[in-house]
Structure 1
Amino acid sequence: MTTDTRLATNGRPRRSGRPLFSARFGLTVLAIVVSLASAFPVLWMITSSFKTRDTVTDGKLIPTDVTFSNFVDVFTDVPFARYLWNSFFVSATVTLVALLFHSMAAYALARLRFPGRETIFMAIFSTLLITAPVVLIPLFLVVRELGLLNSYAGLIVPAIFNAFGIFLLRQFYLGLPREIEEAAIVDGCGYWRVYWNIVLPMSRPVLAALAVFFFLANWNSFAWPLVATTDEDLAVVQLGISSFSTQHASNWNYVLAAATVAALPMLALFFAFQRQIVESIKTSGLK
């Protein structure tokens, strides 16, 4: 092959497709390996929850059998259904209230002009640098002074504020076209009607993603419910698994069955809204 045939019309050499194919193939293999490594603990937990313990009889090891009795014991030995309901009620309430307040705050910080707007946003954003253990004791003292210990309010109210939700929604609102809102204002709509009738319906993808994040965070919450409640009727599912593992420390099949019951709703929720999560990340970059 001559030099002329190896050159493109602009005089530059043509790039071979093999390096690009090799890079994509390597990334695909890496993604498969990481996916398998991430899914293996979940699959092991689910499969082990259906097994009985290995027993030794007359010096012989009797292998495990597949059984559903582990799940029956989970709901009979402890009030696990009550734990699931408490987690669902607290997580759903926090998610709904937080989405409402966070979206209003984010819209005001993104669209309304008032003195100190950027200072307020930076103050809210800076709270992301503070870890939860730092504020655990001060938060407990405040909740105790308000008389909210051992109540649903004590589990819900402190978990509503989340700077990440306000930040993500504000970045999303900054990317919305102003022409739609200006046209509504010209037609006589106030800021509240613009927010409620126009901005909020357009925010469904990012709100769905935040709903999954908030629900998962509160469903998996352990430290604050452990500090804020001593009444077993208010125990959430993570505290229930902890107490169940204490009772059956050596019977890991029971503990894994309880963990599977607690994890399955979250896995279903994630797979149902994974598209919205990806879309929110794509459309809510830094502005």
Structure 2
Amino acid sequence: MHALDDGGDDRTPAQPSRARAPLSAGQRVRLVLAHVTIYLAAALFMLPLVYAFFSALKPNGEMFAMPPRLIGSEVRWSNFVDVFKFGPFWTYIGNSLFIAVAGTLVVLTVSACAGYAFGRLRWKGRDVVFIAFLATLMVPAEVLVIPMFQVMQWFDWVDTYQALIFPFAFGAFGTFLMRQFFRGIPLEMEEAARVDGAGPIRTFLLIMLPLSKSALAVLSVFTFLSFWNSYLWPLIVTVDYKAHGTLPVGLATFSGLTGTRWDLQMAAAIISMVPTTLLVIVLQKHLVKGIAMAGLGGR
């Protein structure tokens, strides 16, 4: 004889999901218009990149042909190969990659530590120092070129990797971004760590840093792009371009006394966009989250 046990299962039945209310005619029209506007804006921004890509496949003599044509008389994929034969382009890529990665790591370290000190630690004169530090954002970088070059001469760092990395390691933008993010983290988490016996350094390493991945992703992308696209400072502080030249400086070498190889320069520009594009794609999710959290944080 089998007995049925109807009351033995304490699990509650799954609640039915709420059905979305149907959109009205006006809402559907606005939704369609919003999507069309987004697609048109995306196409508008993509058009220069598409034109640049097809221009990199044209012969050099057809770059400024009139009327303009998207595709030349022949498609020269060899332009992307000839870029590396024209000069030490691999050296430029390697230098830019090393400087951008090393500079980004230094900036992340400095900005995270300074942002935590300004945002969570209490010390005399903190706000005054932070305002003075933030005021450096109003000084154009071009104004600082001569003083920075003199400092590099004093340290004997002219034409070195150190001169290309450390002058930009202590920027106020990264510190401000991390400070805003740290101030948005609930105080209860820091107090719980203090109750467990964690000091400021341990709290920073074990609590704050793991929670700040999104903000660090945002800062890493901005910093990497800044180092990767820097042209004026590497042009000034570098002497031996074939040994320490960066990618933006290398792009300028396609223009000389004998003329400009526009086809190779365009192909080199397309190649230079690949690392930054991949970086943005990989960190896209963290970028959206980090910008939202860091931009609205602060108490």
TM-score (norm 1): 0.86
Q: What CA distance in whole angstroms lies between the structure 2 residues aligned with 1:99 and 1:90?
A: 14
Q: What SS does structure 1 have at the residue aligned with 2:285? A: helix
Shift of 1:166: 0.6
**Gap regions ≥5 residues in structure 2:** 1-22, 63-71
- Whether the aligned pair in 1 keeps the contact of 2:92 and 2:244 (CA below 8 Å) is yes
In structure 2, what residue type is equivalent to 1:148? W
Equivalent in the alignment of 2:54: 47
1:248–1:274 distance in 2 versus 1, CA, 3 Å: farther
Q: What CA distance in whole angstroms lies between the structure 1 residues aligned with 2:107 and 2:203?
A: 20
Count residues in correspondence. Answer: 266
Q: What CA distance in whole angstroms lies between the structure 2 residues aligned with 1:132 and 1:74?
A: 31
Q: What CA distance in whole angstroms lies between the structure 1 residues aligned with 2:74 and 2:37?
A: 35
Shift of 1:47: 2.2
Q: What CA distance in whole angstroms lies between the structure 1 residues aligned with 2:284 and 2:257?
A: 36
Residue 143 in structure 1 maps to residue 152 in structure 2: yes
Equivalent in the alignment of 1:275: 285
Equivalent in the alignment of 1:79: 88
In structure 2, what residue type is equivalent to 1:255? Q
Shift of 1:25: 4.1
Equivalent in the alignment of 2:67: none
Q: What CA distance in whole angstroms lies between the structure 1 residues aligned with 2:128 and 2:78?
A: 57
Deviations 1:98-147 (CA, angstroms, capped at 9, x unpaired): 10111011011111101111111111211111111121111112222221
Q: What CA distance in whole angstroms lies between the structure 1 residues aligned with 2:132 and 2:50?
A: 42
Equivalent in the alignment of 1:254: 264
| Segment of structure 1 superposing worse, 28-37 or 155-164 | 28-37
Equivalent in the alignment of 1:6: none
Deviations 1:2-28 (CA, angstroms, capped at 9, x unpaired): xxxxxxxxxxxxxx9555555544443
Alpha-carbon RMSD across the aligned residues, in angstroms, is: 2.0
| Segment of structure 1 superposing worse, 151-160 or 129-138 | 129-138
Equivalent in the alignment of 1:231: 240
**Gap regions ≥5 residues in structure 1:** 1-15, 56-62
1:204–1:158 distance in 2 versus 1, CA, 3 Å: same
Given candidates 136, 140, 144, the residue that maps to 1:131 is 140
Deviations 1:166-208 (CA, angstroms, capped at 9, x unpaired): 1111111111111111111111111111101111111111111
Given candidates 119, 137, 140, the residue that maps to 1:110 is 119
In structure 1, what residue type is equivalent to 2:154? E
- Whether the aligned pair in 1 keeps the contact of 2:254 and 2:260 (CA below 8 Å) is no
Deviations 1:48-107 (CA, angstroms, capped at 9, x unpaired): 22233457xxxxxxx522222112211111000000000011110110011011101101
Instruction: Give the percent of matched residue pairs that are identical in Structure 1 and Structure 2.
Output: 37
Equivalent in the alignment of 2:68: none
- Whether the aligned pair in 2 keeps the contact of 1:248 and 1:254 (CA below 8 Å) is no
- Whether the aligned pair in 1 keeps the contact of 2:254 and 2:262 (CA below 8 Å) is no
- Whether the aligned pair in 2 keeps the contact of 1:54 and 1:64 (CA below 8 Å) is no
TM-score (norm 2): 0.83
Q: What CA distance in whole angstroms lies between the structure 1 residues aligned with 2:170 and 2:259?
A: 36
Shift of 1:34: 2.2
Q: What CA distance in whole angstroms lies between the structure 2 residues aligned with 1:193 and 1:46?
A: 49
- Whether the aligned pair in 2 keeps the contact of 1:95 and 1:214 (CA below 8 Å) is yes
